[in-house]
Chain A
Amino acid sequence: MFSYEFMRNAFAAGTIIAIICGIMGVFVIARNMSFLTHTLSEIGFSGAAFGVFAGWAPLNGMLLFTVVSSVIVGQLSARSERREAATSAISALFIGLGILFLSLANKNASYATSILFGSVIGISASDVQQMLWLSLLVLVVIFAIYRFLKFDSFDHTGARVKGLWTNVLSITFLVLLALSVSVAAQIVGSLLIFILLTLPAATAKYFAHTVGGMMILAIALALIGVWSGLVMSYISNFPVSFFIAAIEAVFYFIALGWQRLQTAE
């Protein structure tokens, strides 16, 4: 399996994605942003389609659309009572735009499928390098603002009372999330990115005792899902995103069952 360059690239990319998604996922769950993450992934699809239309690499189109829209989405959904409706409206608009750009680019349905569901064979060494640099940027910023972000994510009221710039933190986090979405879309596809950005962390929440522990467990669960998914996809020739989705969903249901047992005791 590792004699093929595309598999080596896919494993390298998958490892980077799992680490980024494990860390970012902890904050996504703490900030109740699962739905927003799903919306950003749809915006990623639209951005990739725009990239194809404009003759760019799909990743660059994704970066442009997700980063710009993350700021807009953050502003529009600042008030919790309109968050879901505003997010739904933006999601619908961007899916429509994605379809329009694909149509204008004269690309066939299989190209749309690879953007939506990801592709193992499409990842080159230069893609891996670009993903590595973007991921390092996300990690450095998270490291620098970790204490503020942790305070605001796990105790928003306390952070506001402390006088932290919670709006600035929120927008910074959304931009980091947009970068993570663009990176992760390379393997799992834009439609299923939220799997890795939500399920490993949502599962880890039930087993971990500290935020650091939750992060390590989320990374481990994401790694297991991505690595196992790649191997199964290689063996069976079925889409990798199916296996990753199934593995992470099984982990999550086990966690829910375990939590139920704990509560019943």
Chain B
Amino acid sequence: MESAPILKLEHLGVTFPNHPVFEDLNLTIRQGEVWSVIGKNGVGKTTLMRTILHQLRPTHGKITYLPNQNEVTIGYVPQFRNIDADYPLTIKDFVGLNLTGWKLPWLSAKERAKVTKILAQTGLKQLAQRPIGQASGGEKQKAYLAQALVEAPNLLILDESTASLDPVTKTELLDLVAELNQRLQLTVLFVTHDIPMAQKYTQHYLMLTPGKVEQGPIEKLTTEKVWEGENV
């Protein structure tokens, strides 16, 4: 039985001045599904993610969050991050930054418990007191993931966040995401260039090509003609 849809994109399009990024995108993402959004540089993958995150207004079409917008929370791990190596910010503090609201400056006992729980789930418990600026690339990515997950989102977007990692660290991080997907029914959207990774970890694929959007089996999508945006 298919799970309930949490996100519906209907005839979605974004146009920058004199330059359509993508048009007529239709997509339904269901709870617990893992999707890969693939495509060459500059085809609008990050633009699509920013639109889903409400940072960009679509030029055409609409996005529906189901059952309603308040119940769909999104965790996003961006491609780049600028963290000063000398900041006195521990991994634990960094993860807690995402707990916002009109509250007291310090975290409540309940919020501290949330941070502790997500640090344990992401394998960062032993590194909680390490300054984020002094963490390795893989540890930083795990901390970014933990920060995105601390508010228990039901949709997680990873925007090329494993691109700079070595193969062992990348596999470790992706295995962790796969485990969280299984255990928490977390819906995951990978933005990636990494086709083998997409094949290993995802069941659904969306390919953006210049001026076109394709869905289907990865073997069909990655043929040269589709990749270049030609009709096949």
Report which A residues bind B (CB closer than 8 A).
30, 143-144, 146-148, 150-151, 154-164, 204-206, 208-214, 259
Contacts and interface: CB of A to CB of B under 8 A. Distances in A.
Interface in B101-121: 101-103, 105-106
Contacts of A157: 78, 80-82
Contacts of B86: 205-206, 259
Contact of B100 (A151, A156, A210): A151
Contact of B78 (A30, A151, A161, A208): A161
Given A163-B53, A209-B131, A154 B80 contact: no
23 contacts: A143-B105, A144-B102, A146-B105, A147-B99, A147-B100, A147-B103, A147-B105, A150-B97, A151-B98, A154-B87, A155-B81, A155-B97, A157-B81, A158-B81, A158-B147, A205-B87, A208-B88, A209-B88, A209-B129, A210-B88, A213-B88, A214-B88, A259-B86
Nearest to B107: A147
A146 to B, nearest CB: 4
Contacts of B87: 30, 154, 205
B82 A156 contact: yes
Contacts of A158: 81, 97-98, 144, 147
Nearest to A206: B86
B53 A205 contact: no
**Dominant secondary structure at the A interface:** helix
Given A144-B102, A163-B54, A155 B93 contact: no
A162 B93 contact: no
Given A210-B90, A210-B93, A213-B88, A155 B83 contact: yes
* Most chain B CB inside 10 Å of its own CB: which residue of A143, A144, A210: A210
**Those 5 A-B pairs whose CB atoms lie nearest each other, nearest first:** A146-B105, A208-B88, A151-B97, A161-B76, A214-B88
Interface string B116-152: 0000000000000101000000000000100100000
Contacts of A160: 55
Contacts of B129: 209
Contacts of A211: 88-89, 93
Nearest to A160: B55
B201 interface: no
A205 B83 CA distance: 14
Given A209-B88, A209-B131, 15 more contacts: A30-B87, A150-B105, A154-B89, A155-B97, A157-B80, A157-B81, A158-B98, A159-B97, A161-B76, A161-B78, A206-B86, A210-B88, A210-B89, A212-B106, A214-B88
A123 to B, nearest CB: 31
Contacts of B93: 210-211
* Most chain B CB inside 10 Å of its own CB: which residue of A150, A155, A208: A155
Nearest to B92: A210
B94 interface: yes
A213 B87 CA distance: 11
A214 to B, nearest CB: 5
Nearest to B54: A163
A87 B144 CA distance: 33
A213 B89 CA distance: 10
A144 B53 CA distance: 26
A100 B129 CA distance: 54
Contacts of A156: 82
A210 B96 CA distance: 12
Contacts of A205: 86-88
Interface in B8-58: 53-55
Contacts of A210: 88-90, 93
A24 to B, nearest CB: 15
A261 B101 CA distance: 40
A36 to B, nearest CB: 17
Contacts of B82: 156-157
Contacts of B101: 147
Contacts of A143: 105
A204 to B, nearest CB: 8
B90 A209 contact: yes
A143 B105 CA distance: 7
